[in-house]
Amino acid sequence: PKRVRTRHFARAKEQGIKITGLTSYDVLTAQIFDEAGIDFLLVGDSAGNTVLGYDTTLPVTIDDLIPLTRGVVSGVKRALVVADMPFGSYETGPDEALHTAFRFMKETGAHAVKLEGGVRSAEQIRRIVEAGIPVMAHIGFTPQSEHGLGGHVIQGRGDAADQLLADAHAVEEAGAFAVVLEMVPAEAAQRVTAELSIPTISVGGGPHCDGQLVVWTDWAGLAGGRIPKFVKQYANLRQVLTDAALAYKADVESGTYPDEQHSYSDTTAEQALQER
Q: Pick from 9, 30, 40, 44: which binds Na ion (CB under 5 A)?
A: 44
Q: Is 45 in the site for ligand KIV (CB under 6 A)?
A: yes
For residue 120, what is the DSSP state? G
Pick the piece of the chain touching ligand KIV (CB under 6 A) from 43-51, 152-160, 166-174, 219-227: 43-51
Q: Is 215 in the site for ligand KIV (CB under 6 A)?
A: yes
Alpha-carbon distance of 63 to 146, in angstroms, equals 22
Q: Is 203 in the site for ligand KIV (CB under 6 A)?
A: yes
Q: Which helix (H) or strand (E) holds 23?
A: strand 19-23
**CB of 12 closer than 8 Å to CB of 37:** no
Residue among 185, 186, 55, 196 at smallest CA distance from 118: 196
| Shortest separation between residue 115's beta carbon and Na ion, angstroms | 9
| Comparison of 26 and 271: residue with beta carbon closer to ligand KIV | 26
**CB of 130 closer than 8 Å to CB of 139:** no
Amino acid at 272: A
Q: Which does 76 bind (CB under 5 to 8 A by kind): ligand KIV, Na ion, none?
A: none
Binding residue per annotation — 218? no
Pick the piece of the chain touching Na ion (CB under 5 A) from 83-91, 99-107, 179-187, 248-256: 83-91
**CB of 241 closer than 8 Å to CB of 215:** no
Active site amino acids: 182
**CB of 223 closer than 8 Å to CB of 238:** yes
Find residue 137's DSSP bridge partners.
115, 179
Q: Pick from 30, 38, 43, 45: which binds Na ion (CB under 5 A)?
A: 45
For residues 177 to 196, the per-residue mask of contacts with ligand KIV, x marking binding by CB under 6 A and - elsewhere, is ---x-x--------------
Alpha-carbon distance of 244 to 147, in angstroms, equals 39
| Comparison of 138 and 191: residue with beta carbon closer to ligand KIV | 138
Binding residue per annotation — 167? no
Q: Is 39 in the site for ligand KIV (CB under 6 A)?
A: no
For residue 160, the tally of other CB atoms under 10 A from its CB is 15
Q: Is 210 in the site for ligand KIV (CB under 6 A)?
A: no
Alpha-carbon distance of 154 to 184, in angstroms, equals 6
Binding site for Na ion (CB under 5 A): 44-45, 84
Binding site for ligand KIV (CB under 6 A): 23, 42, 44-46, 84, 138, 180, 182, 203, 213, 215
Residues at the annotated binding site for Mg(2+)? Answer: 45, 84, 116
